Amino acid sequence: MKVRIYKNIKHSLLNEMARVKILKDISINNYGRFVLYWMQSSQRVKYNFALYEAIKKANELKKPLVVLFVINENFPYGSRRNFLFMLEGLKEVYEELRKLNIRFVVHIGDPVKHVLEFSKNASILFMDVGYTKFLREWRKNIVEEIKVPVVAVEDNVVVPVEVTSNKEEYGAYTIRKKIQKNLKDYLVPLDFPQISFPPFREILFSFDIRNPKDSINRLHFRYNVSETHYFVGGYSNAKELLKDFVQNKLSKYIEKKNDFSENFTSNLSPYLHFGQISPIEIALTVLDSSVEDIEKEAFLDELIVRRELAFNFVYYNSRYDRLEGLQPWAYETLQNHKFDERPYRYSFSQLENAETHDPLFNAAMMELVKTGKMHGYIRMYWGKKIIEWSESLEIAFKFLEDLNNKYALDGRDPNSYAGIAWCFGKHDRPFKERPIFGKVRYMSENSIYKKFDVQKYIERVKNL
């Protein structure tokens, strides 16, 4: 990751428009009462390019802009924890849009149904981009049935996925150069557009999100997971975490990033998952800091290359949520060892309740349950142990998916599925063959105890 290539970059209209994809190219409805932006993956105002394009079109058509958000109570792994975090962010979106005289409407139900209903009175629909199966299915169904033009704007990655590559990449080393050659065109500052369209003054029903703690009690969820007191949703909180990271942690990032007994990660992954802050804004803030370039490069490689490798995986591999999504070598070596004797076998309940013989695994599990997040390095160890202790590979994959997506605020995400697949060898290389894992990388307790202060971490989790 060459920091020097970021310097003296100027924004161009061409770069901006490359994020835009016309999904339905039909005539604009001149009788529409407003321009409609369906907000889903980009739950923010700043560096929300879908919102920016909708504002420009509203200015051009001299029509009001309405932003619609639909809360789907059947969202996979929906719980009080992740819905409250989302509502805390949406409250800030509401407040910021109100200052701009942009109407923000929140409904509950099926997003496809509500977007289609709203679009009957719209001139054109703008939407942000989703990558996982159900998010893409929503958008596909909307495009098939809608009667107005549809424009999608990709803004939750730095370089749009199809610009980076037209195929699934093997690993970070194959995608890195492809991303780097495009960064000068996409990692650019962008000013908020001027607003000249009239406000929308008609009455529209909206679910009240002004007090998230009250609003959450009117929703229903499939999973009974309590809220976390360690992360509060919203752009302003993401900005505070980013500021703290740049000022107090970034200068030691290379040395400390893998040390789960310390706290030197940015903790921004929940906010990135909900689109409450843009990866572009994070990267530009890091680049603008006075920290040495080598530290910036290390962080930006994680934020951009590793993260966008995950998006590439989910976008181009329809089997990202199954073992069959692995590279052939990893799948074959694991299958060759699937009947190997397991030293321990634990049920889902035992894993979830941290009832194993391994105090480090138990601490990692409890950190996830209590806080809604787990340090990235220890999450790899946690995942490998579930593979080692499960009755079959398929059961291990399902346990990992369920535990991660149920409790993690940054779960249900391309990063989550790439992380789970990595534990089974995805985006990695073959190692010396051993029982259970075959040629897939193994992580031992002994090596981790030698590298890090494990007891310090275990005590910290106990005291949460």
pTM of the model: 0.95
Does a structural domain hold residue 303? no
List, for residues 113-130, the tens digit of each pLDDT value: 999 999 999 999 999 999
Question: Angle at Cα 176 formed by Cα 175 and Cα 178, nearest 5°?
Answer: 65
Please count the other Cβ atoms lying within 10 Å of the Cβ belonging to residue 412.
22
List, for residues 147-204, the tens digit of each pLDDT value: 999 999 999 999 999 999 999 999 999 999 999 999 988 998 989 999 999 999 999 9
Same domain, 24 and 140: yes
Residues 6+ apart with CB under 8 A from 27: 149
Does a structural domain hold residue 165? no
Does a structural domain hold residue 76? yes
Same domain, 331 and 211: no
Residues 6+ apart with CB under 8 A from 162: none
Domain carrying residue 38: 3-156+192-218
Same domain, 328 and 208: no
Residues 6+ apart with CB under 8 A from 276: 43, 44, 89, 233, 234, 235, 238
- What are the structure tokens assigned to 182, written together? 């495009």
Nearest to 272 by CA among 216, 322, 310, 223: 310
CATH code at position 362: 1.10.579.10
Looking at residue 16, its pLDDT comes to 56
State which of 218, 235, 254 marks the end of a domain.
Answer: 218
Query: Which 3 state secondary structure label does DSSP give 292?
Result: coil
Please count the other Cβ atoms lying within 10 Å of the Cβ belonging to residue 80.
18
Same domain, 62 and 202: yes
Measured distance CA(48)–CA(45) in Å, rounded: 5
CATH code at position 94: 3.40.50.620
Does a structural domain hold residue 134? yes
Nearest to 416 by CA among 430, 429, 428, 402: 402
Q: How many domains does the chain have?
A: 2
Does a structural domain hold residue 245? no
Does a structural domain hold residue 39? yes
Backbone angles phi, psi at 30, to 5 degrees: -70, -15
Does a structural domain hold residue 299? no
Same domain, 78 and 199: yes
Quickly tell me which residue has 């142990």 as its tokens.
Answer: 385
Does a structural domain hold residue 427? yes
Nearest to 223 by CA among 399, 452, 406: 406
Same domain, 452 and 338: yes
Same domain, 71 and 209: yes
Looking at residue 263, its pLDDT comes to 86
Which residue numbers in the chain have pLDDT < 70? 1-17
Question: Angle at Cα 43 formed by Cα 365 and Cα 165, nearest 5°?
Answer: 80
Burial 303-314 (b: 16+ CB within 10 A, else e): bbbbbbbbbbbb
